[in-house]
Amino acid sequence: MTTTRRELAPRYDAATVEPAIYERWMAADAFAPALESPAGAERFVIIQPPPNVTGALHIGHALVTAIEDTLVRYHRMRGDDTLWLPGVDHSGIGAQFVLDKTIAEEGDSRASLGRERYLERMWRFMNETRPVIGSQHRRLGASVDWQRERFTMDEGSARAVRTAFKRLWDAGLVYRAEALVTWCPRCRTTISDLETIHRDEMGTLWTIRYHLARPDGTPDPDAWISVATTRPETLLGDTAVAVHPDDERYRDLVGREVILPFLARRLPIVADDYVDRTFGTGAVKITPAHDPNDYELGKRHGLEAINVLDEEARISAAGGEFVGRDRYEAREAILDRLRENGDLEAERPHAMVVGHCERCGTVVEPRLSVQWFIHVKPLAERALASVREGRTMIVPPHFEKVYTHWMENIHDWAVGRQLWWGHRIPAWFCPNGHVTVTDAEAGPDACAECGRPAAELTQETDIFDTWFSSGLWPFSTLGWPDETPDMARFYPTSVMETGYDILFFWVARMMMLGLFLTDAEPFHTVYLHGMIRAEGGVKMSKTKGNVIDPIDMVDEIGADALRYALVAGTAPGSDMRLTRPKLEGGRNFSNKLWNAARFVLGARPQPVATPSGAPTLPERWIRSRLAETVERATRSLDGLDLAGYAAAVHEFAWNDYCDWFLELAKVDLRRQDATDAERARTWLTAAEVLGDLLRLLHPLMPFVTEEIWGTLDVAEPRATRGEPMLIRSSWPAPAARDLIAERDLATLTELIREIRDLRSGMGTAAGEWLPLHVVAADARSRAVLEAGLAYLEPLARVRPVDLDADLGGRPSAAGSTPSGTFWLGTDPAAEAAARARAEAHLADLQAQAARVRDLLGNGSFAERAPAAVVERERARLAELEAQLGQLAAARDALNE
RNA sequence: GGGCGAUUGGCUCAGUCGGUUAGAGCGCACGGUUCACAUCCGUGAGGUCACUGGUUCGAAUCCAGUAUCGCCCACCA
């Protein structure tokens, strides 16, 4: 650690401070909840999406961390029983995708290694990549309970997965069936609809002639039916041609047969409503094994489904002469041959939607296979009711509609994946075709139906969709299915925070599985954040070179600055643009805090005397502003409005504390006539308010605030109330505001601002002292100005100040505030500018007064508007008229 | 083909229950060597709140429609 705890370096260096601070938190075991829940404490448990084990954290993870850590630190300071449990997801398909590429470089492949050695290799790979996520989380300041860290492939998760599946099975919610599923030929597994990305693409629509069969079974060269297709290679699997039953053109052909090219298969011509007469030729080739619609039609007409693609999308043995060729190669070959035969009637460009694998981008194929399904309707109904009836709230609320729409139209979940890395489905087959599902780690003792011994059973080779284990995360991490102390203490959880992009993948599954397995909503709030975009609102992508790496930013400007930039000015559920200036704004804010603290610590009287005397107006004022900020920050955080919280604290820190209070306090700390006791009181106020500011800001910017806190603690334990670490300190308590101090200080600052404005407009040199003449609006204002003379003079750069100015015979009053009018003694040249300004000001006030007068004169307004609103307008008019009176008097005096 | 969201100064975004003269940060202009900070200080300019119509004493805010952009969902060969 290079910084001492006694003083702050002239420049804030996040790169050295932040890691040292994290070490101190770890050493103090500051993240874990207490051993036992404190009596009377509320519970706050946040659920985070466990990042994929293989990756490095991207900017989206940094956003997750910023939001969640802010909430967690806030609740910890509030004294809630707070848990943030870290972990990583094994990411079945994603991990295999990455490992496959890695081992390919080593000259290996899935096939060359075999399942067992591949999995060994995977575990080795896991152990290499897993620590990366952890260390990056630490850099971002995540105050997670590392002792409870979990992994979706650990033993606890494995047990939860087996138990969950067994319970679903026992409840009759699991079935195994042949179905047409989406298949990725590169990942060589089934993927779900959600994992399929549909893109509009320009393809080709080919028109192909299928010749009618003659009685002897040979194709009739002169009679054919033309069908349109975008995937000619699938014709190898055709088992019919379909037309619309009412289509005059083909009425006579229904019931006859055509001969499939290359394979010479006889295909019936069937009639079905599904066919769109206006599309293509109005006749469709039917490939039940490779098209969802054809599959349905095939079932209606009892057609055979012939699979012509293997798992890598090469033509299978059923494809005759084309066997073994890649699907696109085969397509070209087939087209060439059709062309040669004169059976390719037409080809034209055709806009269509093509499905791609989310993971690898490969064009997916519908594929007929036997799959495990979860019957989700009953699960979805409960998940819907929970949200509809408000037991789980979604933030922002409009995502409830998205959630509802998806849940209402949900399809059964194909949970099996033909991969190796993941939880193997705990189902065993016996030679009699029976299925036995068990949650026992060792597998079943015997077939559940016929009693065949375990030795004769074989386990299912499919594994679970990664989201099945992720869907158990809120409770599997707490020890479920056992009734552990953690389950009792932390479940159901509080807030589940994630991006809206995985609402269906993850949130919906957690809701369904959580309700079914634990009979409780797994969390009471779903907080969805938006996506982070680059400049111009475009997606960040490596190819565009506009990716912001969070760890680079932490290195450069610090985690605090990054966190601030991510949280400030963002609304839940909407995308945000992260730009360089925004990040710099965060850095500047860290710097500002650092320097404010440097000032406060450097201004410490040596020694600090026992304070005495009544607090000054600025002291009362800053405490009142603090009280309001505490209220605003608390309300915002309780309402999950992180941007509101960030704005409240930023405004207080910069505008109230630095720009006004510290400048005013400098006057008191440096005045000659002050006693040590008074000076001590002012300084202590500065230190104590700084202490509370650090508390308020700590959830969002934990490092810089903790570092300053450490120094402040040494310099002034009263300011930290003896709480040695900020992370374990308490959230500021609500306090009463001092509205009189706020009004009185406004009297002073409004005048200062007006004078500065006038000086700036006149082009007065900044250092030049000008005489000030003031006519106070009332006795109270005059008293405030008199008492505040010592502040007024240096901050407005005016001297001497005449508080009892006489308007008669003086130059035009150049400015006015609600508490009075004033003019500056100036040279004649500047006076014209001042006068013009005064006239403009007067006109503005008159226009305002006229507007309010009109409003009040409108009978309907007085009658129908609420009394409070009317009253407010009346008061405003009175104030405007008072100011106008003063200004008019000043002008009259001049004109005489 | 459905659905959702957005549209507020040059840029990025706030704007509560409809109620003063619509705010902030960045950028811009002008001025600044005052002992916390130029990653700063002071001052200022800049907005028909996308458009049209309606409700209302009063609309950025509520309602209807239009336009543009974005996203999600969807089995048309």
What does the pLDDT look like over A413-447, one tens digit per residue? Answer: 999 999 999 999 999 999 999 999 999 999 999 99
Strand partners, A81: A43
- The average pLDDT across A452-476 equals 96
In this predicted structure, what is the pLDDT of residue A556? 94
Tokens of A343: 């059976």
**What is the band of A385 on the pLDDT scale with cuts at 50, 70, 90?**
very high
pLDDT tens for each residue of A55-98: 788 999 999 999 999 999 999 999 999 999 999 999 988 999 99
Burial, A401: exposed, middle or buried (Cβ in 10 Å; 0-12, 13-18, 19+)? exposed
Give CA–CA dist A140/A22, Å, rounded. 10
* CB of A112 within 7 Å of some strand B atom: no
In this predicted structure, what is the pLDDT of residue A3? 40
In this predicted structure, what is the pLDDT of residue A893? 62
Residue nearest to nucleotide B24 (CA to C1'): A647
Nucleotides of B under 7 A from a protein CB: 3-6, 11-15, 19-21, 24-27, 30-34, 36-37, 39-44, 56-58, 70, 72-77
Tokens of A470: 């992720």
In this predicted structure, what is the pLDDT of residue A775? 87
CB A225 within 8 A of CB A250: yes
Range 285-314, chain A: CB under 7 Å to any strand B atom? 285, 291-293
Q: How much of chain A exceeds pLDDT 90, in percent?
A: 70
In this predicted structure, what is the pLDDT of residue A519? 97
**What is the band of A507 on the pLDDT scale with cuts at 50, 70, 90?**
very high
pLDDT tens for each residue of A585-644: 999 999 999 999 999 999 999 888 999 989 999 999 999 999 999 999 999 999 999 999
Neighbours of A861 (CB within 10 A): 14
* CB of A757 within 7 Å of some strand B atom: yes
Q: Is the ipTM of this complex over 0.90?
A: yes
CA-closest candidate to residue A814, choices A873, A887, A870:
A887
Q: How many angstroms separate the CA of A662 from the C1' of B40?
A: 14
Look-up of token digits 């009471």: A524
Is omega for the bond preceding A19 within 30 degrees of 0, making it cis?
Answer: no
Give the containing element (helix H, strand E) for A863: helix A859-864
The sign one gets for the Cα dihedral A386, A390, A391, A397 is positive
Burial, A183: exposed, middle or buried (Cβ in 10 Å; 0-12, 13-18, 19+)? buried
In this predicted structure, what is the pLDDT of residue A82? 97
Quote the Cα angle for A412-A415-A417, to 5°. Answer: 140
A416: phi then psi, degrees, rounded to nearest 5: -80, 145
End-to-end CA distance of chain A: 73
In this predicted structure, what is the pLDDT of residue A895? 59
Which residues have a Cβ under 8 Å from the Cβ of A673 and sit 6 or more positions away?
none
Q: How many angstroms separate the CA of A851 from the C1' of B47?
A: 20
In this predicted structure, what is the pLDDT of residue A554? 96
Tokens of A671: 């005045």
* CB of A158 within 7 Å of some strand B atom: no
DSSP A572-629: TTS-EE--HHHHHHHHHHHHHHHHHHHHHHHT--SS-PPP-SPPPHHHHHHHHHHHHH
CB A174 within 8 A of CB A373: yes
Instruction: Flag whether pLDDT at A851 surpasses 50.
Output: yes
- Provide, for chain A, the percentages of residues in helix, strand and coil under a 3-state DSSP scheme, each rounded to the nearest 5: 50, 20, 30
Give CA–CA dist A650/A697, Å, rounded. 8
- Scanning every strand, the nucleotide with its C1' closest to A530's CA turns out to be B71
CA-closest candidate to residue A24, choices A7, A1, A42:
A1
Q: How many angstroms separate the CA of A80 from the C1' of B15?
A: 32
pLDDT tens for each residue of A160-214: 999 999 999 999 999 999 999 999 999 999 998 899 998 888 889 999 999 998 9
Which alpha helices (H) appear in A150-189, and where do they start and end? 155-170
Give CA–CA dist A571/A397, Å, rounded. 12
pLDDT tens for each residue of A856-891: 877 778 888 888 888 888 888 888 888 888 777 766
- The average pLDDT across A405-410 equals 90
Residue nearest to nucleotide B19 (CA to C1'): A869
Give CA–CA dist A571/A573, Å, rounded. 6
- Scanning every strand, the nucleotide with its C1' closest to A660's CA turns out to be B41
Q: How much of chain A exceeds pLDDT 70, in percent?
A: 97
CB A313 within 8 A of CB A249: no
Range 601-620, chain A: CB under 7 Å to any strand B atom? 602-603
Which residues have a Cβ under 8 Å from the Cβ of A240 and sit 6 or more positions away?
A267, A268, A269, A270, A285, A286, A297, A298, A301, A303
pLDDT tens for each residue of A324-350: 999 999 999 999 999 999 999 999 988
Q: Name the 3-class secondary structure at A526.
A: strand
Range 416-475, chain A: CB under 7 Å to any strand B atom? none
Give CA–CA dist A408/A384, Å, rounded. 8
Instruction: Flag whether pLDDT at A2 surpasses 90.
Output: no
* CB of A193 within 7 Å of some strand B atom: yes
In this predicted structure, what is the pLDDT of residue A790? 94
Give the containing element (helix H, strand E) for A525: strand A523-529
Give CA–CA dist A580/A583, Å, rounded. 5
* CB of A354 within 7 Å of some strand B atom: no
Give CA–CA dist A437/A199, Å, rounded. 39
Give CA–CA dist A335/A344, Å, rounded. 7
Give CA–CA dist A350/A73, Å, rounded. 56
Neighbours of A414 (CB within 10 A): 20
Of A400-404, A434-438, A738-742, A831-835, least confident by mean pLDDT is A831-835
CA-closest candidate to residue A824, choices A856, A843, A801:
A801
Residue nearest to nucleotide B15 (CA to C1'): A644
Q: How many angstroms separate the CA of A325 from the C1' of B64?
A: 59
- The average pLDDT across A38-49 equals 93
